[in-house]
Amino acid sequence: MDLAEGFRNHREKIINKWVEYTLSTYGASSFFIKERDKFANPVGGNVREALGQMFRLLEKGADSKEHQPYLDQIISIRSVQEFTPAQAVAPLNAVKHITREVFLADKEREHLAAELYDFEFAVDLLVLAAFDTYMQFRERIYKVRIKEIKSGSHILTDSKCPSKLVSGKDIQDLTKVNGN
Amino acid sequence: MSVPKLEQLSKSVVQGPTLATGAIPTMDWMDIPVVFKPGNYAYPAKKEKVEYLDSLSGLSFPNAREWSPEDDDWKLPEDWKDIIIKGLSDRLDKFRSLKIFMDCCVRCGACADKCHFFLGTGDPKNMPVLRAELLRSVYRNEFTLAGKILGKMAGAREMTVSVLKEWFMYSYQCTECRRCSVFCPYGIDTAEITMMLRELLHLVGVGINWILEPVSNSNRTGNHMGLQPHTFKDNVEFLVDDVEGLTGIRPNVSFNRKGAEILFVTPSADVFAEPGLYTAMGYMILFDAIGLDYTWSTYASEGGNFGLFTNNETMKKLNAKMYAEAERLGVKYIIGGECGHMWRVVHQYMDSMNGPADFLEVPVSPITGTVFENTASTKMVHISEFTADLIKHGKLKFDKSRNSHVKATWHDSCNTARAMGLIEEPRYILDHVVDWVEMPENTIREQTFCCGSGTGLNTDEIMELRMRAGLPRANAVKYVHDKHLVNMLACVCAIDRATLTSLMNYWNPGVEVCGLTELVANALVREGENRPELPEGLRTMLF
């Protein structure tokens, strides 16, 4: 019974637990877990899709670069929600514990828990990459904000209304200056 | 890194009492206070803006002051509670709809998961039913027997400062897009509940600057920007120069011209900010091509009506100015440009506020003879209805290849789609001018998702909130961007054009945003034109 077979056997279970754990960080976790339509439930749908893909990559020990599109998929969302940086990336770490727990609960495969060093090291790298990704998206949102300000829509409120120049008080001031 | 136990990890992830931080609720929703921090609230209105608005006859914006949502003390007037309860009582008498909406909800939950703010934040208080419950609980306490006797057991609660703060938080996390109403079996318009919450808050001087300053500018000079007539005219004329440079034909425009057949009103953003100004160039090209007898107005120089986001009196006043100008100029009717909430006001409220506009004529297209009977009372035709009619009668010649740089998808702007049923016309136009695809079914037409920044929430200090709220829309765009290489999100709303641009820059870089008439003008073939190769249509920079 090798590790690859162990992963294959428990893949769905582990992914499900990982998804549920990640979605439990939201107030409305039950809806986010239950609704499977990605367009009716963008947070749940994207988390489910991305974690599923990432687990498959972890199984085969893929290069961490291959995880990037899926990290983007999850972290782009969590970096604009009200999480601290640690809260935003922490659920990725959970897969280590979930996998270990699932293997230990299976009498035939509990010995595999001892072989998880490489897998867990890959998860550690994933969490580090998630911090980088988090920062990239934070920088992106600041750039979006600056771009919007530069585009001129701030004129909506931060400019003086030109007609204010002829408001009553100004007219009084003008008359004072003119000495009339 | 060690392998933490899942519970320990949870402890490090889930902390603090607010739902929005990801904590699992351990208390009843009524007992969870709101926490204001930079980024989750829009800046309060400047004192002088509130004072100015309060000084206007017919408008009431009392209790102007400096205050901050982050402070414990909001410096509310001493009798704030009486003001709120009396305000609610007045409105229950005045608006039968409010009374019905307060009483008839059975809390079936059909609306709960339909709100883009809920879907983007996961915060239960953003479920429309619960957002309405914020007001309903106070209503029960003050105005129903069950609530008075049974209190909390009957879902009632007393009006407190903490409840007021909750109102401010969540009535400004609703864009009044009305997607939830589509699913409500009783037809409760939760947007109108948000409108009431905002009205009540204004009674005690609680409002946001991004709304009240444009309202005040609009009242002074006729547009959100506070542009005076000469500036507005100059801006339009810059665009005339650009159109001449791009097409070889100088479009004929006029301002405040008495006796013109048609008054054209559009959001002021169209004449001064990208990408709206390409849409404005589109209007000029289209109207010039058919020889329309129309005029711009430098006084009714704003289609947008931020009054809708404050109270009904202000909405009425700002709406009235368009009609006053139409009467002054002696036009036959009005054509309205690509705006969102202007159309909600015109279609749903104008008639009972300022209508019927008997001094105008039922709109008839001078080109096709079509009578727009759907506008028989408001006398205001949407540019997409007008354009679709021109196409239907073969009055416009298109070369679709002029839009070959564009692969479009269509965003049904909430107000035009849900509030006036403008669903088929834009699609008919798109079919004739550009290659385009639909987004997934449950994100379009009546079920369209809001840009996340409507109702005056398009301000930059709440950018993250806007990105969360816009996630459902952006998520559907991403799908067609990945699958069909869509690079343009077309729409008919000025707030959309501005805010979807930021939304795309965050979620889907590579997708631009445009107005529908820009695509029409890109593809329009005119006699006598001297048009160089324009690889980016009207956006091409010529040197």
> What's the distance, CA A150 to chain centroid?
27
Question: Which of B3, B302, B481 best probes binding to A when mutated, by most A CB atoms within 10 angstroms?
Answer: B3
Number of H helices, E strands in chain B: 24, 8
Within 8 A of A157 by CB-CB distance, chain B residues are 209-210, 213-214, 459
- What is the spatial distance between Cα A144 and Cα B470, in angstroms, rounded to a whole number? 14
Query: What is the model's pLDDT at position A158?
Result: 53
Give the chain A residue nearest B460 (alpha carbons). A145
Question: Band of the pLDDT at A166, cuts 50, 70, 90?
Answer: very low
Q: Work out how many domains chain A is built from and give that number.
A: 1
- A41: containing domain: 3-177
Q: Nearest CA to CA, how far is B184 from chain A (Å)? A: 16
Q: Nearest CA to CA, how far is B143 from chain A (Å)? A: 31
- What is the spatial distance between Cα B434 and Cα B401, in angstroms, rounded to a whole number? 8
Query: What is the model's pLDDT at position A151?
Result: 78
Query: What is the model's pLDDT at position A74?
Result: 98
For residue B24, pLDDT over 70 is answered with no
Do the Cβ atoms of A90 and B225 come within 8 Å?
no
Range 15-34 of A in CB contact (< 8 A) with B:
21, 24-29, 31-32
Q: Is A35 exposed, middle or buried (0-12, 13-18, 19+ CB in 10 A)?
A: middle
Query: What is the model's pLDDT at position B100?
Result: 96
Instruction: Say which of B127, B273, B443 has its CB closest to residue A152.
Output: B273
Within 8 A of B274 by CB-CB distance, chain A residues are 151
- What is the spatial distance between Cα B427 and Cα B323, in angstroms, rounded to a whole number? 29
Average pLDDT taken over every residue of chain B: 93
Average pLDDT value for residue range A81-88 = 94
Question: Band of the pLDDT at A168, cuts 50, 70, 90?
Answer: very low
Average pLDDT taken over every residue of chain A: 87
Q: Does the CB of B459 have a partner CB in chain A at under 8 Å?
A: yes
For residue B443, pLDDT over 70 is answered with yes
Q: Does the CB of B30 have a partner CB in chain A at under 8 Å?
A: no
- What is the spatial distance between Cα B342 and Cα B304, in angstroms, rounded to a whole number? 5
Domain ranges of chain B: 18-207, 214-539
Instruction: Say which of A83, A141, A145 has its CB closest to residue B21.
Output: A83
Q: Does the CB of B508 have a partner CB in chain A at under 8 Å?
A: no
- What is the spatial distance between Cα B333 and Cα B359, in angstroms, rounded to a whole number? 9
Q: For residue B514, which of B444, B361, B362, B411 has the smallest C-alpha distance? A: B411
Q: Nearest CA to CA, how far is A81 from chain B (Å)? A: 7
Do the Cβ atoms of A42 and B18 come within 8 Å?
no
Give the chain A residue nearest B115 (alpha carbons). A40
Do the Cβ atoms of B24 and A27 come within 8 Å?
yes
For residue B402, pLDDT over 80 is answered with yes
Q: What is the pLDDT of residues B100-133, one digit of tens each?
A: 999 999 989 899 999 999 999 999 999 999 999 9
For residue A103, pLDDT over 70 is answered with yes
Q: For residue B388, which of B362, B403, B367, B414 has the smallest C-alpha distance? A: B367
- Torsions phi, psi for A149 (to 5 deg): -65, -45
Q: Nearest CA to CA, how far is B317 from chain A (Å)? A: 19
Question: Band of the pLDDT at B26, cuts 50, 70, 90?
Answer: low
Average pLDDT value for residue range B319-327 = 96
Query: What is the model's pLDDT at position A88?
Result: 96
Question: Band of the pLDDT at A109, cuts 50, 70, 90?
Answer: confident
Do the Cβ atoms of B225 and A156 come within 8 Å?
yes
Question: Band of the pLDDT at B20, cuts 50, 70, 90?
Answer: very low
Q: Does the CB of A91 have a partner CB in chain B at under 8 Å?
A: yes
For residue B21, pLDDT over 80 is answered with no
Question: Band of the pLDDT at B31, cuts 50, 70, 90?
Answer: confident
Do the Cβ atoms of B6 and A94 come within 8 Å?
yes
For residue B22, pLDDT over 50 is answered with no
Q: What is the pLDDT of residues B340-372, one digit of tens each?
A: 999 999 999 999 999 899 999 999 999 999 999
| Inter-residue contact B150 to B135 (CB < 8 Å) | no
Q: Does the CB of B38 have a partner CB in chain A at under 8 Å?
A: no
Question: Band of the pLDDT at B29, cuts 50, 70, 90?
Answer: confident
Instruction: Say which of A32, A80, A149 has its CB closest to residue B468.
Output: A80
Do the Cβ atoms of A156 and B507 come within 8 Å?
no
- What is the spatial distance between Cα B126 and Cα B173, in angstroms, rounded to a whole number? 7
Q: What is the pLDDT of residues B132-181, one digit of tens each?
A: 999 999 999 999 999 999 999 999 999 999 999 999 999 999 999 999 99
pTM of the model: 0.93
